[in-house]
Amino acid sequence: MKKLFFLLVLVVSCTQMWSQDVDKTSGSANSKEDRNFRIPLIGEKAPSFSAESTNGTINFPDDFGHSWKILFSHPKDFTPVCSTEILNLAHLQSQFDLLGVKLVVISTDRLETHVQWKKALEMLKLDNKEFVKIRFPLVDDENIVVSKQYGMIHPETNSTRSVRGVFIIDPDNIIQAIYFYPMNVGRSTYELIRMIKALQTSSKDKVLMPANWEEGNDVLVRTPPKVDDNSPKTEIADYYNPAWFLWYKKVKNN
């Protein structure tokens, strides 16, 4: 009986130890999985969020209607590179307005710091440009909720250094382009405008944009034009092909 009793005690003890090990392993796995913040990809719906900003409470993307949107993120206020980026965006607000683009900027500092940062930037002349008012919202993401939704927090750390993403979102709230930049290199505002123009032209005219495309340049077509004896010569002249697999369509500039 004593041997049987000790055997039962041994089995129970081993079972409990095994159970604890499984729980620890499972907990570790779950913890790591919880920190695996996935970047939403091109073609996916832009994650929605509600947050406080320098323009009041915003609900993204619903508050911005059927328009193109750019979500521009920063890891911290008052940093040198980010400050130049905000001012460049502000100086080009009229160009974004003409393209029907709404700008939303998030930063992982709190709202009070955003307000002070905005005030300081609006009193700063950069590159011999005049003072400028920042009309787009600076969103409070102190709790890194938005940064997690957009996959900008690395799984192995809580650091906000990787919160340097740009998401271009179409009127149907589908992500159309994604950029990520290091902390030591400023983003090109002009490239964002070029990309918006390219995406809008491609969507409207059902064409493709070649490398280094700029507004007014010729575009690519997916398939060769249908040409027969009845095709108007003027229509045929609108196309040319350097190779059988590469067809361009001429853009008529006014």
Q: What rounded mean pLDDT belongs to the chain?
A: 85
Dig out the tokens for 127 from the structure: 């590159």
CB-CB contact of 112 with 154 (8 Å): no
**Does residue 14 fall inside a structural domain?**
no
Are residues 175 and 77 both part of a single domain? yes
- How many angstroms separate the CA atoms of 141 and 74, rounded? 10
Whether residue 98 has pLDDT greater than 90 = yes
Are residues 154 and 74 both part of a single domain? yes
Q: How far is CA 248 from the centre of its chain?
A: 30
Torsions phi, psi for 154 (to 5 deg): -70, 145
**Does residue 146 fall inside a structural domain?**
yes
CB-CB contact of 175 with 40 (8 Å): yes
Q: In what order do the strands lie in the sheet with 165-169?
A: 56-60, 49-53, 138-140, 101-107, 68-74, 165-169, 175-180
pLDDT tens digits along 211-234: 999 999 999 999 888 766 555 555
- How many angstroms separate the CA atoms of 109 and 144, rounded? 9
Domain enclosing residue 162, as ranges: 49-189
14 counts as catalytic: no
Q: How confident is the model at residue 249 (pLDDT cuts 50, 70, 90)?
A: very high
Q: Name which of 106-120, 177-191, 231-245 the model is least confident about.
A: 231-245
pLDDT tens digits along 16-48: 444 444 344 334 433 444 555 789 999 999 999
Query: Which residues face 73 on adjacent strands?
Result: 106
**Is the CA virtual torsion 52, 53, 55, 61 positive or negative?**
negative
DSSP character for 62?
A: G
CATH number for position 148: 3.40.30.10
Domain count, the chain: 2
- How many angstroms separate the CA atoms of 178 and 167, rounded? 5
Amino acid identity, residue 169? Answer: I
Q: What is the pTM of this model?
A: 0.81
**Does residue 85 fall inside a structural domain?**
yes
Of the residues 82, 104, 193, 196, which is catalytic? 82
Whether residue 134 has pLDDT greater than 90 = yes
Tell me: cis bond preceding 61? Omega within 30 of 0 counts: yes
- How many angstroms separate the CA atoms of 225 and 19, rounded? 68
**Does residue 254 fall inside a structural domain?**
no
**Does residue 67 fall inside a structural domain?**
yes
